[in-house]
Structure 1
Amino acid sequence: MSLVNRAGDATQLVQQLQSEFVRGLEAVASGVGEDRGFVRFDWLRDGGIHGGGNRYSTTGNSVFNRASVNVSHIHYDDMPNKALSSATAISTIIHPCNPHAPSVHMHISWTEMRDGNGYWRLMADLNPAIFYPEDAEAFEKSLADTSPTNINQALEEGKKYFYIPTLDRHRGATHFYLEKYQSGDFEADLALARDIGKQVIATYLRIFQQALENRATITEEDKHNQLDYHTLYFFQVLTLDRGTTSGLMVHDQNDQGIMGSLPSYVNKKILLSWQSQMEHPQDELLAALIGSLPETGEVNDETRGQLAEVVRNHYGKHPEALKLQASGSVIPPTLKNHS
């Protein structure tokens, strides 16, 4: 199989998964009376010379606090000296308004190197503000059924990646993570990526729909717990998440898409309480992030742009702090690949 076909197959896969997930989410929302669908936003890398992508997001929706389903295909066909030939990905985060419905994150990407080698990143994690064991069990079982030979390694790697040392806790309840995965059989690996993506989507849609139907009563305490968890999510993404940081450091042409994983509100007081626990220079990063937030804690388009600049400026000033980012047993060379 040619390199063009491999990248093309990966692109076709992420586009199919994006379409399937958006349609499914809109159907669940419509079932509870929300007919405002997702809106598509396109972006280009260097005017389209090096590819680009699109995202489907929600605005003013009564079912989704924040939802973004992103796909991208970046290539360096005109830059033969780059080690990276192309990178293709779907990255999605769904934060429901209902605190009893868990958030979900999924990332599936294919990286194609100039020398012909390539590998996958496969990530899926369930992120409940209010923990329901039956949801976590269903999510983990679906992944185990789809990838029985990799499930133990993937769960262990996920626990490593989503651990937050400062707080001695994890982001999320179920974590699946395989980095630089390749078996030597591209067709088999492509099928695995497809199966994982489709299974995560189908399982989450069931969990989501059941939560909306059966857990409709929401108290002020529930809302408070959700805000606290969204604050934890914000903290992990912007101080630890290697994928988010790498995306922001590589270019500034899709900040809204990269930062689309952030929930719409966070608790500034909680963030401030964590600042003294951060090691240097990450304490400076958190201080700058907090300083970019309005007093209400709202994370709107303007704020996301400011937060992106904070992250870029911090690691530009403190490149040594990149080693403090989250990782499993394998650290992806994303920044090196794009340099």
Structure 2
Amino acid sequence: MSDVFDERKARASAWFRALRDEIVAAFEGLEDSHSEGPLSDAAPGRFEVTPTTRTADDGSDAGGGLMSVMRGGRVFEKVGVNVSTVYGTLGAAAQKSMAARGVPGIEADPRFWASGISLVAHMQNPHAPAVHMNTRMFWTPGAWWFGGGSDLNPCLEYDEDTAHFHAIQKAYLDPHGAALYPELKAWADEYFYIPHRKRARGVGGIFMDDRNTGDWEADFALTQDIGRAFLPAYLPLVEKRRTMGFGEAEKNAQLVHRGLYAEYNLVYDRGTKFGLATGHDPDAVLMSLPPLAKWV
């Protein structure tokens, strides 16, 4: 069985890297094609790519990945697309958390392996929505699962944009079962909620965690389609909104909304907590935070 999962780990890690490459190319393409509207006379943005490393408590190598961040582009004010594959031994707090979630045998054998892609985009134009996407695979000697999803975070909401984003998600999920999209949409509505603000951080999307139906191939195929849905769900919205004019009021609304995003990621996001608790590069973990935000 270990040989089987070695092969599956390699396939999952390669898939997340391929998806990263596709998204980075598409986002730089948006920068190149922005020929009218605000900031169209600026230089097109490019990703700065930095290797990331994770070091175990004993100083040994524990994996790493790539942090790809674009700052100050024509379309994207800040966007990060990270991939990583990390492994090692979970600390006591992480073991306790996993055990509480029902992961079998984690306290007796706390080895783990995790790989995934994480993306957050903050836009120059307040009419263009911010967005988040991630997919991942997690393995321990006693269990494996997939997780992730994507959600739209506009500061200025357009009903037709929300409808398009959700329609594409549904189209990619329906081949995996008609009940899946409503389930993952409801999960996203619950997960991306800010209790202390009593509101959602955006207009929703899809989300799953601990996905293990017993059929690894089927669950991996679903995870891939969640990743494949991202660009067709998101790119048309940016293309439509990036040329719209805006003023101080719209920019102010954007900065206040970014404050909500920062609060959620620092207080509630499970991925942020896991990344920091397991010793991954903090700059990569906190890549999701906006470049500027405002609180009233």
Q: TM-score range by the shorter chain?
A: 0.7 to 0.9
> Superposition pairs for residues 80-229 of structure 1, below 5 Å?
82-115=109-142, 117-148=143-174, 149=177, 150-213=180-243, 216-229=244-257
**TM-superposition CA deviations, 1:40-97 (whole Å, max 9, x none):** 01111117721101111013323222100000001239x9974343100101001111
**Offset at residue 219 of structure 1 (A):** 1.6
Aligned to 2:95: none
Q: Provide closer, same or farther for how the CA distance between residues 84 and 140 of structure 1 changes in structure 2, counting only shifts above 3 A.
A: farther
Distance 1:257 1:62 in 2: 23
> CA 1:163–1:43 in structure 2 vs 1: closer, same or farther (change >3 Å)?
same
Question: CA offset at residue 29 of structure 1?
Answer: 1.1
For the residues of structure 2 that align with 1:84 and 1:140, how far apart are their CA atoms? 37
2:287 pairs with one of 257, 260, 263: 260
Name the residue aligned to 1:292. Answer: none
TM-score (norm 2): 0.84
Distance 2:61 2:125 in 1: 41
The CA deviation string for residues 160-218 of structure 1, in whole angstroms up to 9 with x for no partner, is 111112111001102311110122222222221111101112221121112114xx211
Q: Which residue of 2 aligns with 1:72?
A: 84
- The answer on whether the counterparts of 2:262 and 2:289 sit within 8 Å (CA) in structure 1 is yes
Greater share of strand residues, 1 or 2? 2
**Cα distance in 2 for residues equivalent to 1:127 and 1:257:** 21
Gaps of 5+ in 2: 35-39, 92-105
Distance 2:249 2:7 in 1: 52
- Distance in 1, matches of 2:291 and 2:214, equals 42
Say what the alpha-carbon RMSD is for the aligned residues.
1.9
Secondary structure in 2 matching 1:136: helix
Decide whether the 8 Å contact of 1:92 with 1:261 is kept in 2. yes
Match of 1:44 among 48, 53, 59: 53
1:198-246 deviation per Cα after TM superposition (whole angstroms, max 9, x unaligned): 1112221121112114xx2112111011011011111111122222122
Query: Take 2:60 and 2:33, find their aligned partners in 1: how far apart are those partners?
Result: 38
For 1:231-310, what aligned pairs fall within 5 Å after superposition? 231-251=259-279, 253-268=280-295, 270=296
> Which AA in structure 2 matches 1:128?
P
Q: 1:303 aligns to what?
A: none
Once residues 237 and 19 of structure 1 are traced to their aligned partners in structure 2, the CA distance between those partners, rounded to angstroms, is: 25
Structure 1 gaps of 5+ residues are: 271-339
Structure 1 partner of 2:97: none
Question: How far apart in 2 are the matches of 1:265 and 1:82?
Answer: 42
Q: Distance in 1 between matches of 2:282 and 2:288?
A: 11
> What is the aligned residue count?
264
Asked whether the 8 Å contact 1:66–1:94 carries over to 2, the reply is yes
Partners of 1:22 and 1:48 in 2: CA distance: 30
Query: Aligned partners of 2:278, 2:112: CA distance in 1, in Å?
Result: 15
Q: What code does the residue aligned with 1:174 have?
A: G
8 Å Cα contact 1:76-1:82 kept in structure 2: no
Letter in 1 for 2:4: S
Larger mean Cα displacement after TM superposition, 172-181 or 27-36: 27-36
Structure 1 residue 110 displacement after superposition: 0.3
Letter in 1 for 2:117: I
Query: Helix, strand or coil: the match of 2:74?
Result: coil
Aligned mates of 1:122, 1:234 — CA distance in 2: 19
The answer to whether the Cα contact below 8 Å between 1:104 and 1:125 also exists between their aligned partners in 2 is yes
1:121 counterpart SS class:
strand
Shift of 1:39: 1.0
Letter of the 1:89 partner, please give it: G
Is the 2:72–2:78 contact (alpha carbons within 8 Å) kept by the matching residues of 1? no
Task: Answer 1 or 2: which has greater helix percent.
Answer: 1
Distance 2:194 2:250 in 1: 23
